[in-house]
Amino acid sequence: MNRPVTAVFAALEALLVVGIGVGIPVVLLSLLWAFQYGLQLDWLIFWRAAVDVWLVGHGADLTLQLSADAAAATGVAGADAPIRVSIAALGFSVLTVLLAVRAGRAVAETPHRVLGTLVSIAAFAVLALGLTASAQHELAAPSLWQGTLLPTLVYAVPLATMAEVTRRRRGGPADPATDLVLDLVARIPHVGRAVVGSALRLGVGSLAVVLAVASVVVALLLLTSYAELITLYEGAHAGLLGGLALTIGQLALLPDLVVWAVSWFVGPGFALGTGSQVSPLGTNVGPLPAVPFLGALPTGDPAFAFLGLLVPVVAGFVVATVLRPRVERVLAESGVDDLLRRALVGLAGGVVAGVAVGLLAWAASGSAGPGRLAQVGPDPLAVGGFAALEVGVPAALALVVSVRRFLGHDDEASSSDESRGGADRVTEAAPAPSGAARQQAGGGDADATGPIAVAAPPERSSWRSVLERVPFGAGRSAARGESTTSDRATTGEATAAPASSRPADAAPSVAAHEDAPSVGEPGRPSWMPAPRERTPEPASPWWVRSGGTSAAGASPSHESAHAPTRDTDTDTDRGGRGEDGDDVTEPIDDVRR
């Protein structure tokens, strides 16, 4: 794909995003124009209304004004004054962000990523400017510079971010602009980058948790207030198409409702008109417009509402606890892993969360109409300040104080002990063997006494060590990953060792039991004693082999002591003949030993 094709492709991506965003209200209003008004009005009125809705959804201010005849018909003083609508219907902004992410991923797949990104942003800005200019009217005029700049920013930031993320994932080369930015970031001291990066993760993670909780609460309020919502829908008498348009408008305002819930959890709450307040301390509202979703708002003073203030506190503490190992590792790599830097990361994360919440509160607040509706939504400064405090302090405590250590479990000490493993095994004192055993084992002094040091058994047994102690050559070979040929070679070398190096009666030490290689017969580990060699005994009389009673009056106990037995090695009876044809009769007492 060459450069001209990449530029056309990027421009089409921007056109697609704008077309989807503007097309939703255009289709609904066109249906109203066709079926509700019978095609009697000018379609450009509905076109301008659809563009105004899209621009308001991206934060552009809209100025409305009644005509002189309409203002006089109302009979209200000051009805001809301009009406400013500055609250953003964030549903359209969310849609633009999602489509921009998809466009950024598609542009990054082209060989000319930078060209595609710039062309796509420029095409979107030109389209936004054209739409804003087409919606200008003396009775409804959106801000020209806001209608051009704010939608373009909403589209450009996620587009460029996703394009860069995709480049990094694919390992592509960086463009000169990206190299310049990376060079500027690299000039920041390593400690500063570690603190800022950890604070960004902490703040964004805490904000995501609070937004998730607020979304769940809003969904539950809408479900439990189903009856009130249906009553307000019926009172609107909007019909099928009007009800559909009203539903789409409320869906566009649904993200605003989630942000209002976040401000309620933070503490300051939000307003639904001048002099009203909805917060955990109570709900005090006046007359409200007949918008159905406003019927889900809590009324009165809910019990235990103050527990909602714990949501940002718990979110900051939990997220900081989860990110603590990463923060410690990053600070340790910078050589400044101390309590001061950890507390600084927690407080900086609170500042990040406060700034983000403040920006959301700013976008979800403003003027929604004349009179009391000139003040709707939360106070950005109050909400952002409280959010920074409620997230930063618990996060700093979670990074400084360990929960397990606070509960009496010293996890750091236990982890350091486990890391040492078997390297620091202490020797244990075993009871001194007898003199005869000493002479038989090593030929030393029989009178020497004293403890001998043996290696302590390992604290934990892994599956590899267990398989190595299994007296089978195949299991040991599979556990160690060695070939059968190498096992046979090792077994052959061990078999060649002199048998007198370790007597059969000598007890194996713990070290030999754990670490010594297999010697002796194949399949028998070194710690298993060798079988005793039995010498053939003289042939017993026939009455002993047959188990009968002797003529000399042999006692029954003597006969039972020489009863026939089974030889497990030669698979013959002790009363019969072995492989060499000799009698191998042996007393049962010896066999039992």
Given a cut of 90, is residue 300 above it in pLDDT?
no
Model's pTM, two decimal places? 0.67
Task: Report the C-alpha gap between 286 and 313 in whole angstroms.
Answer: 31
User: 3-state class of 225 per DSSP?
Assistant: coil
Q: Is residue 440 part of a domain?
A: no
Residues 182 and 201 in one domain: no
Q: Which residue, of 363, 395, 410, is where some domain finishes?
A: 410
DSSP string, 144-191: HHHHHHHHHHHHHHHHHHHHHHHHHHHTPPPPHHHHHHHHHHHTS-HH
Domain span holding position 349: 191-410
How many distinct structural domains can be found in the chain? 4
> Does 29 map to a domain?
yes
Q: Are residues 138 and 216 in the same domain?
A: no
Lowest mean pLDDT, pick from 46-50, 375-379, 492-496: 492-496
Q: What's 108-125 look like in SS3?
A: HCCCCHHHHHHHHHHHHH
Please check whether residues 124 and 150 belong to one and the same domain.
Answer: yes
SS3 per residue for 374-425 = HCEECCHHHHHHHHHHHHHHHHHHHHHCCHHHHCCCCHHHHHHHHHHHHHHC
Pairwise CA distance, residues 341 & 59, whole Å: 38
Cβ atoms of 272 and 260 within 8 Å: the answer is no
Task: Please indicate, yes or no, whether residues 211 and 245 belong to a single structural domain of this protein.
Answer: yes
Is the same domain home to 224 and 253? yes
Higher pLDDT, 399 or 540: 399
Question: Is 17 or 111 the better-scoring residue by pLDDT?
Answer: 17
Asked, for residue 418, whether it belongs to a domain, the answer is no
Same-domain pairing of 176 and 249: no
pLDDT score at 578: 44
pLDDT for 441 equals: 42
pLDDT > 90? residue 557: no
Tell me whether residue 281 is in a domain. Answer: yes
When the pLDDT of each residue in the chain is averaged and rounded to a whole number, the result is 75
Quote the CA–CA distance of 399 and 200 in Å, as a whole number: 15
Domain match, 400 and 252 both = yes
Does the residue 435 lie in any domain? Answer: no
| pLDDT reading at 548 higher than 70 | no
Please give the average per-residue pLDDT across 532-547, as a whole number: 53
Question: At which of 363, 384, 410 does a domain end?
Answer: 410
Where is pLDDT greater, at 116 or 491? Answer: 116
Is the model's pLDDT at 175 over the cut of 50? yes
Residue 378 · residue 269 · CB < 8 Å: yes
Confidence of residue 422 (pLDDT cuts 50, 70, 90): very low
- Residue 112: what pLDDT? 85
- Domain boundary residue among 363, 382, 410? 410
115 and 242 housed in the same domain: no
pLDDT score of 294: 83
Over residues 352-363, mean pLDDT = 94
Same domain for 183 and 310, yes or no, is no
Q: Is 422 a member of any domain?
A: no
The average pLDDT across 343-348 equals 92
| 357 pLDDT higher than 90 | yes
Residue 458 lies in a domain: no
Q: Kindly state the percentage of the chain with pLDDT values over 90.
A: 33
Say if 126 falls within a structural domain.
yes
Contact 55, 79 (CB under 8 A): no
- The verdict on 301 and 327 lying in the same domain is yes
| The predicted structure's pLDDT at residue 243 | 82
Which residues 6+ apart lie within 8 Å of 445 measured at CB? 435, 438
Q: Give a three-class secondary structure readout of 501-569.
A: HCCCCCCCCHHHHHHCCCCCCCCCCCCCCCCCCCCCCCCCCHHHHHCCCCCCCCCHHHHHHCCCCEECC
Does residue 527 register a pLDDT over 80? no
User: What is the number of other CB atoms lying within 10 angstroms of the CB of residue 425?
Assistant: 13
Mean pLDDT for the stretch of residues 55-75: 83
**Residue 574 pLDDT exceeds 70:** no
pLDDT band at 533 (very low <50, low <70, confident <90, very high): low
Structure token digits, residue 210: 């609070």
469 or 23, greater pLDDT: 23
Question: Going by DSSP bridges, is the β-strand pair 62-64/140-142 parallel, antiparallel, or unpaired?
Answer: antiparallel
Do 356 and 234 have their domain in common?
Answer: yes
The pLDDT of residue 205: 93
Is it the case that residue 454 has pLDDT exceeding 70? no
CA distance 549 to 253: 109
Three-class SS state of 437:
helix
- Same domain for 264 and 401? yes
Percent of the chain with pLDDT over 70: 66
C-alpha to C-alpha distance for 391 and 317, rounded to whole angstroms: 7
For 290-331, the three-class secondary structure string (H helix, E strand, C coil) is CCHHHHHCCCCCCCCHHHHHHHHHHHHHHHHHHHHHHHHHHH
